[in-house]
Structure 1
Amino acid sequence: MPESQAITHVPRPIVYIVDDDATVRRSTWFMLSAAGFQPRAFAGGADFLDALPELAVGAVLLDLQMPEVGGFDVLQAVMRSDAAFPVIVVTGFGGVSGAVKAMKLGAVDFIEKPYVEDALIAVIESALVASRGADEAKQRRRAAQRKLEQLTPRERDVLELMVAGLPNKLIAYRLQISNRTVEMHRASMMDRLGQSSFSGAIRLAITAGLDPLPAEQA
């Protein structure tokens, strides 16, 4: 087939349905399949978490009210995973307080049961769009964190105080070491991080979410 006539197959967005109600799972599966998504259903939180490490990234439609492993437990586990799964929580009528709590934990949106197709599709599409940038940011953060994990405890102390804005002389005073020792730790730290400039090391630390030591503490 000529290149100009080649057919490009665009993967359908994946949506994981996590709900202990078999009727809801079935109806939602058919609804999403008809709308062009690639749905996969799980009968409960435990089943989903067992499969999570092997799952491709996709949106998660998560019922909050489930026995045993509940929705909040699942949400927290998803937020701890390396991949950025956009989570939409499903609540019963009037369950706004639970939805607010879930969004504080990292859910991107919520929808109330019973939901209609148009509303469900809209919230999933919005979550998928928002997740693309979040996934890239999370990958950058994890890459930076892995680099910081290579540092010795003392090198990390030096970096934290650098991020807090302290010059070498004050870092030495705070850590009760010599200025020359600070310079040695700093050079070793920069080498481990693969950075040739002070600003590069600071940017990497900020990307990793490093909490600097307060300037008044060692």
Structure 2
Amino acid sequence: MTIPSPTIVYIVDDDAEIRRSSWFMLSAAGLSPRVFAGGADFLEELPHLTLGAVLLDLHMPDVSGFDVLQAITARNAAFPVIVVTGFSDVSAAVRAMKLGAIDFIEKPYVDDELITLIESAVARCKDADQAQECRRAAERKLALLAPREREVLELMLAGLPNKLIAHRLQVSSRTVEMHRAKLMSRLDLPNFSAAIRLAIAAGMDLRASLEA
């Protein structure tokens, strides 16, 4: 299966207002959105759906976004999934991407940012060679980090605040802040969301972080 043009985007969210606003925004951008009121509705239709991108809210009642991701993976469906998380919900974003999500976006999101993520997700899905080059580029970036900076990054990805990172590494909170600033500068990243994407793109083993 290949993703048709215009790109179909399946909006899976239990919030009616978000479904409505997302539908209008994606339609205006020239995409072809279709809405689902929850994970169960989407999974019921999944075997019959044309390949497209999925904008998936993680925190839904009954069938959560995590359940949907697991079902997509179990069926070997090649839908590029962008998950919607709460602000600074680091552990949820990392868990979702370990389950197969291509990217994530935090609420409230900017329209242009979402369109860019969808276009990027679809492009990566179409070009496996490009995906491999992205991984190699991300690995080269992470290799620039000093060992202590990488430790701090891994603990940040686990969702630990500076105080707990300091306790874990037996250093001061001020030292953690310095390492955090240095690693963000060294990696030339604008924000922590970008750090998560880089770590996932590089295939960083996050199991230890998730268990921290």
Scaled by the length of structure 1, what TM-score is found? 0.56
1:51 equivalent in structure 2: 45
Among 71, 75, 84, the alignment partner of 1:81 is 75
Deviation at 1:132, TM superposition (A): 1.5
Q: Is it true that 1:126 corresponds to 2:120 in the alignment?
A: yes
1:93 equivalent in structure 2: 87
Q: Tell me, in whole angstroms, the C-alpha distance in 2 between the residues paired with 1:82 and 1:103.
A: 16
Q: Is it true that 1:30 corresponds to 2:41 in the alignment?
A: no
Deviation at 1:80, TM superposition (A): 1.9
2:65 equivalent in structure 1: 71
Deviation at 1:97, TM superposition (A): 1.1
Q: Tell me, in whole angstroms, the C-alpha distance in 2 between the residues paired with 1:27 and 1:96.
A: 25
Paired residues, number? 126
Q: Tell me, in whole angstroms, the C-alpha distance in 2 between the residues paired with 1:45 and 1:69.
A: 5
Q: Note the aligned Cα RMSD (angstroms).
A: 1.5
Deviation at 1:46, TM superposition (A): 0.1
The CA deviation string for residues 174-205 of structure 1, in whole angstroms up to 9 with x for no partner, is xxxxxxxxxxxxxxxxxxxxxxxxxxxxxxxx
Among 94, 105, 124, the alignment partner of 1:111 is 105
Q: Tell me, in whole angstroms, the C-alpha distance in 2 between the residues paired with 1:33 and 1:112.
A: 21
Q: What are the residue-to-residue correspondences of 1:1-218 with 2, within 5 Å?
A: 11-133=5-127
Q: Tell me, in whole angstroms, the C-alpha distance in 2 between the residues paired with 1:29 and 1:53.
A: 22
Deviation at 1:95, TM superposition (A): 1.1
The CA deviation string for residues 35-70 of structure 1, in whole angstroms up to 9 with x for no partner, is 010000000000000000000000000000000000
Q: Tell me, in whole angstroms, the C-alpha distance in 2 between the residues paired with 1:124 and 1:50.
A: 23
Which residues of structure 2 form unaligned runs of 5+? 129-212
Compare relative contact order (CA 8 Å, sep 6+) and give the higher one, 1 or 2: 2
Q: Tell me, in whole angstroms, the C-alpha distance in 2 between the residues paired with 1:35 and 1:81.
A: 30
Q: Tell me, in whole angstroms, the C-alpha distance in 1 between the residues paired with 2:91 and 2:43.
A: 24
Deviation at 1:133, TM superposition (A): 3.4
Structure number, greater radius of gyration: 1
Which residues of structure 1 form unaligned runs of 5+? 1-9, 135-218
Deviation at 1:81, TM superposition (A): 2.1
Deviation at 1:116, TM superposition (A): 0.8
Deviates more, 1:57-66 or 1:10-19: 10-19
Ranges of 4+ aligned residues in structure 1 off by more than 4 Å: none
Q: Tell me, in whole angstroms, the C-alpha distance in 2 between the residues paired with 1:106 and 1:126.
A: 15
Q: Tell me, in whole angstroms, the C-alpha distance in 1 between the residues paired with 2:97 and 2:36.
A: 22
2:152 equivalent in structure 1: none
Q: Tell me, in whole angstroms, the C-alpha distance in 2 between the residues paired with 1:96 and 1:12.
A: 32
Q: Tell me, in whole angstroms, the C-alpha distance in 2 between the residues paired with 1:75 and 1:29.
A: 21
